[in-house]
Amino acid sequence: MRIVLDEGKCSSIGMCESIAPDVFEVGDDGALVVLAPEQPADRRALMEEAVAACPTGALSLAD
């Protein structure tokens, strides 16, 4: 699956990073970087958790 970030909606709060710091990183400039946008199927539950935790709805999953 692939993680899709809508940069226009992201407000760099970092909830996603707190759930999966190996995948999401808020940089020094405040911009979120998706370090590993392609994720294996066995990580779907964790990625769904990160998507659900985003308060601005900036994240989604594509198959």
Residue from 3, 23, 47, 59 in contact with ligand SF4 (CB under 6 A): 59
User: Whose Cβ is closer to ligand SF4: residue 40's or residue 55's?
Assistant: 55
Q: Which of 3, 20, 47, 58 binds ligand SF4 (CB under 6 A)?
A: 58
Interaction of residue 34 with ligand SF4, rule CB under 6 A: no
If you ran DSSP here, which 8-state letter would residue 15 be given?
A: H
Written as one string, the DSSP assignment of 30-62 is: S-EEES--B--GGGHHHHHHHHHH-TT--EEEE
12: contact with ligand SF4 by CB under 6 A: yes
Report the alpha-carbon distance of residue 61 to residue 27 in Å, rounded. 22
